[in-house]
Amino acid sequence: MLKNNLILQISLTLILFSVSSIYAQIGIDTFAPDKTALLELNSKSINSSSINERGFLPPRVALLSNRDIATIIDPTPGLLIFNTSDAGEYPYEVSANNYYYWDGKNWDRLIYKSTVEEAVKPRMFYIEGIDRQSFTRNDINIPSGTPRDNVVKFMSPLLNIKDIIQFNSTQSTFMVNVSGIYELSAFVNYNPMANIVSGSHNKRAFLNLKIQVSKDGGINWINSIGTRTNWGVDAASTLKTAILLPTPLKLNKGDVVRLVIANPFNSTANNDHCGGGDCYIGNDLANNIPTSKGLKIQLLDYNIQ
């Protein structure tokens, strides 16, 4: 009986010690967790002869967006997970292989030094040309209706920092690789060649310079940004710069952009171009104008991948 009582006392003592340890510190692969920690994990197992160290692997979850409350129902603030999928549309997308915590409204990505360094780097695309691009009267004018758009042709980018744009040199189109808010600006040096004094086309000339966006891979085009330049009486046979000022525009991954020029009026409006020969976009080295055209696309606001 005495022996049984002793065993019972020892068992109760061990149970009480175990319970007290639950409300104190918990150690995994350590008998002496730090007194300031509720939980301490040792990278080396005390029950194994292996010298390999191990890390902590949190729950791996495939979030649908940074507002996802369906994958983890009713998440509590402070919940930490490791996201395994690229999902969602800007500005609610999430990136794979990153830690996220729930702040009560959104899944916020944990920020590292490399993330901050990445954020401050400019993401810019710039392309320009020094060549002459000519247009015939049929390209620019029509007897009635609205004259067609003429794509401004480019050859090779000068800058494409972080590969934000995929350039198609055959079509002179620019596909967006990163969803976000962009700032676009452009210019062309254009001569309408309306230099026959007796013709009505010498009275004036107008030119639209436009950024167009396609959401279906270049099948249909939407006028997104535009500006208009005019040449006055007896000045419509000179080179002049049409400028598209920096303008913000939201673009999604896969959107396609192009730069076009167009005559805003038909021939009945006394607005004929190319009366003295082919109109053209070109440079003027003799007068210190080395470039003929340019397009800048800069990514301003985005979710870092």
- H or E, element range at 5: helix 2-22
Could you read off the pLDDT of 142-160 as tens digits, one per residue? 877 788 999 999 999 999 9
Strands 205-214 and 60-61 turn out to be: unpaired
Residue 68 has pLDDT above 70, yes or no: yes
Residue 187 has pLDDT above 60, yes or no: yes
Could you read off the pLDDT of 190-222 as tens digits, one per residue? 998 875 554 554 567 889 999 999 999 999 999
Residue 6 has pLDDT above 70, yes or no: no
Cis, peptide link before residue 290, omega less than 30° from 0: no
Residue 162 has pLDDT above 90, yes or no: no
Residue 298 has pLDDT above 60, yes or no: yes
How high is the mean pLDDT of the chain?
Answer: 84
Cis, peptide link before residue 91, omega less than 30° from 0: yes
Domains with residue ranges and CATH for the chain: 2-41 (no CATH), 60-110 (no CATH), 123-301 (2.60.120.40)
Q: Which residues pair with 99 in a beta bridge?
A: 82
Could you read off the pLDDT of 89-148 as tens digits, one per residue? 888 989 899 999 999 999 999 887 766 666 667 799 999 999 999 999 889 888 777 889
Q: Which residues pair with 231 in a beta bridge?
A: 205
243: nearest Cα among 193, 203, 190, 284:
190
> What does the alpha-carbon distance between residue 119 and residue 29 come to, in Å, rounded to a whole number?
39
> What does the alpha-carbon distance between residue 211 and residue 147 come to, in Å, rounded to a whole number?
16
Residue 13 has pLDDT above 50, yes or no: no
